């Protein structure tokens, strides 16, 4: 991969005037400088990945699904843990102004038959990114978006369900395209190295994801989704930016989360500790992934960073305890669609179809894929441990799949974990009021509420005892677009497909 990085850097320097393949802060409108669509592909792929696990989606969603909580000795992420208003505007601007602009240019430059493969990749990534945008914020500009060159400076806002309908139409049109003979230079494709069969499988997985996200809406048709699954080539290899892409010794070239720790920044060392909700779930169930995710096994109550009580009665107050830290490796992969996610999606469709044997097959494949990602040898956890398949009611199967998806997503797919938690309502939310009796809460956690999310101690009243459902509309959108709606009142507003009862 290092040789690939060197080759790409040199190629982009000659072809596009870019000084480094990881530099996504370029001008995509300088079309005259971009002779071929492939020159835009590396920056688009890395730009999407950087946002998926960057400041907003990496930290924001990581706190909101209670993998992490703010430490007792710093304050950088208190606002997230208190459920204060957040708009995730950095991700919105970066995705629309950089990655999406690159993809649009790629599509414009790949209209000929000889560039059909680049068109396929660009369109698949465009659909994927629009899905992320509307899933995160809900109703957003779409049909008129990114058309400033056509004089549309204030695009109208489209309903989320209308965006989804068009995304599904686009993915169907894409899948009808024959790219079996198309050539893509693997040096420019950081995800599948020009393997068009893998990209077709990615598009199939994307369609499954789009259809399943609507599971709690009138638009959902499990029979149609099952039929598609049984006729399609399913994703077998994760769509990812490999961890070997990053250079941990160079500023701006590291994994996005590593950028916030390296160079003296120390965001993880000073601010991020393991959340008791998640850490206890792994610890009580002897999940081997705990050791690769955290440096220790003691987590803190979520949003409880001002406590000076001695919750566990060990003689050390909460603010003086030594809590486990998140482990963010220099060579951490970033997933667009992971193999475990794709397997869990298929498992859920079979569960909903009343076919538990097939659901078990794909569920176990998902758990094993996650364990392999963590370097865990052996599948005892699946064969006899807490992740062993238990074919009960449809709902219990959905819960089992969702809980393992929550675990598998940690450090790899935080925004996906947030979205899926809102769709399935698993992990569930317990009603424990930690501040009312900390010692009782501490004693009850391992047995009674392990695996349930808790309402932030400091943010409990802010959303009337509920969890965040979506960020505010990005400030850039609200104040610059004359067709923008009124701002959301808080981060508790649900998007259109978030229909299942529960918090």
Angle at 167 between CA 237 and CA 85, to 5 degrees: 90
Residue 437 CB neighbours (<10 A): 14
Mean pLDDT calculated for residue range 148-156: 94
Half-sphere exposure of 127 (CA within 13 A, CB side): 28
What is the pLDDT at residue 391?
86
The lowest-confidence range among 19-28, 313-322, 420-429 is: 19-28
**At 366, is the pLDDT very low, low, confident or very high (cuts 50, 70, 90)?**
very high
Share of the chain above pLDDT 70, in %: 93
Cβ-based burial of 190 (10 A; exposed 0-12, middle 13-18, buried ≥19): buried
Residue with the larger pLDDT of the pair 416 and 441: 416
What is the pLDDT at residue 34?
56
Mean pLDDT of the chain: 91
What is the pLDDT at residue 29?
47
Boundaries of every domain in the chain: 2-29+41-269+327-480
* Structure letter (DSSP) for residue 215: T
Mean pLDDT calculated for residue range 372-380: 95
**At 10, is the pLDDT very low, low, confident or very high (cuts 50, 70, 90)?**
very low
Mean pLDDT calculated for residue range 232-259: 95
What is the pLDDT at residue 477?
95
pLDDT above 70: residue 434: yes
pLDDT above 80: residue 140: yes
Angle at 33 between CA 30 and CA 34, to 5 degrees: 95
What is the pLDDT at residue 232?
97
Q: Is the peptide bond before 427 cis (omega within 30 degrees of 0)?
A: yes
| 98-137 pLDDT per residue, tens | 999 999 999 999 988 788 999 999 999 999 999 999 999 9
What is the pLDDT at residue 265?
85
What is the pLDDT at residue 216?
98
Element (H, E) at 273: strand 272-274
What is the pLDDT at residue 92?
97
Comparing C-alpha atoms, which of 487, 474, 466 is closest to residue 64? 466
What is the pLDDT at residue 303?
92
Residues whose CB is less than 8 angstroms from the CB of residue 288 and which lie 6 or more positions away in sequence, other chains included: 371, 374, 376, 381
Comparing C-alpha atoms, which of 293, 288, 284, 278 is closest to residue 63? 278
| 14-73 pLDDT per residue, tens | 233 333 334 334 444 444 455 689 999 999 999 999 999 999 999 999 999 999 999 998
Exposure string of 202-216, with b = 16+ CB inside 10 Å and e = fewer, is bbbbbbbbbbbbbbb
Contact between 136 and 470 under an 8 Å Cβ cutoff? The reply is yes
Contact between 103 and 122 under an 8 Å Cβ cutoff? The reply is yes
Domain 2-29+41-269+327-480: CATH architecture, name and number where available: Alpha Horseshoe (1.25)
What is the pLDDT at residue 35?
66
| 264-311 pLDDT per residue, tens | 788 999 999 999 999 999 999 999 999 999 999 999 999 998 889 999
């Amino acid at each position: 991969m290092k040789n690939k990085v060197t080759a790409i850097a040199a190629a982009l320097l000659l072809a596009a005037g870019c000084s480094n393949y990881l530099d996504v802060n370029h001008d995509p409108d300088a079309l005259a400088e971009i002779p071929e669509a492939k020159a835009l592909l590396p920056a688009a792929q890395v730009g999407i990945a950087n946002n998926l696990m960057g400041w907003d989606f990496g930290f924001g969603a990581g706190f909101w699904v209670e993998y992490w909580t703010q430490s007792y000795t710093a304050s950088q992420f208190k606002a997230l843990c208190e459920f204060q208003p957040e708009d995730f505007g950095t991700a919105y601007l970066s995705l629309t102004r950089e990655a999406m602009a690159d993809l649009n240019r790629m599509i414009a430059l790949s209209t000929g038959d000889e560039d059909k493969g680049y068109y396929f990749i660009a369109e698949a990534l465009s659909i994927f990114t629009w899905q992320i945008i509307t899933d995160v914020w809900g109703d957003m500009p779409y049909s008129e978006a990114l058309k400033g060159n056509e004089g549309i400076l204030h695009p109208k806002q489209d309903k989320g369900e209308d965006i989804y309908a068009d995304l599904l139409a686009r993915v169907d049109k894409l899948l009808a395209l024959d790219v079996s003979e198309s050539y893509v230079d693997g040096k420019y494709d950081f995800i599948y190295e020009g393997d068009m069969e893998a990209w077709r499988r990615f598009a199939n997985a994307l369609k499954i994801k789009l259809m399943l996200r609507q599971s709690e809406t009138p638009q959902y048709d499990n029979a149609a989704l099952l039929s598609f699954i049984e006729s399609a080539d399913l994703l077998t290899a994760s769509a990812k930016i490999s961890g070997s892409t990053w250079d941990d010794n160079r500023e701006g070239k590291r994994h996005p989360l590593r950028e916030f720790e390296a160079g003296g920044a120390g965001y993880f060392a000073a601010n991020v500790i393991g959340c008791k909700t998640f850490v206890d779930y792994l610890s009580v169930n002897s999940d081997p992934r705990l050791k690769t995710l955290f440096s220790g096994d003691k987590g803190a109550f979520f949003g409880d960073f001002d406590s000076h009580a001695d919750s566990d009665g060990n003689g050390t107050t909460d603010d003086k305890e030594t809590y486990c830290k998140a482990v963010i490796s220099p060579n951490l992969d970033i997933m667009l669609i992971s193999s475990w996610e794709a397997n869990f999606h298929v498992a859920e469709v079979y569960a909903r179809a009343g076919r538990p044997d097939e659901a078990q097959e794909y569920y176990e494949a998902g758990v094993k894929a996650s364990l392999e990602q963590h370097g865990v040898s052996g599948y005892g956890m699946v064969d006899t441990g807490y992740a062993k398949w238990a074919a009960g009611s449809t709902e219990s199967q959905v819960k089992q799949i969702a809980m393992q998806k929550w675990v598998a997503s940690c450090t790899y797919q935080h925004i996906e974990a947030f979205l899926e938690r809102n769709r399935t309502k698993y992990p569930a939310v317990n009603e424990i009021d930690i501040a009312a009796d900390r010692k009782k809460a501490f004693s009850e956690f391992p047995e009674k509420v392990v695996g349930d999310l808790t309402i932030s101690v400091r943010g409990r009243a802010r959303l009337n005892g509920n969890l965040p459902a979506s960020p505010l509309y990005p400030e850039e959108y609200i104040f610059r677009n004359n067709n923008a709606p009124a701002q959301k009142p808080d981060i508790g507003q649900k998007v259109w497909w978030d229909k299942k009862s529960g918090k």
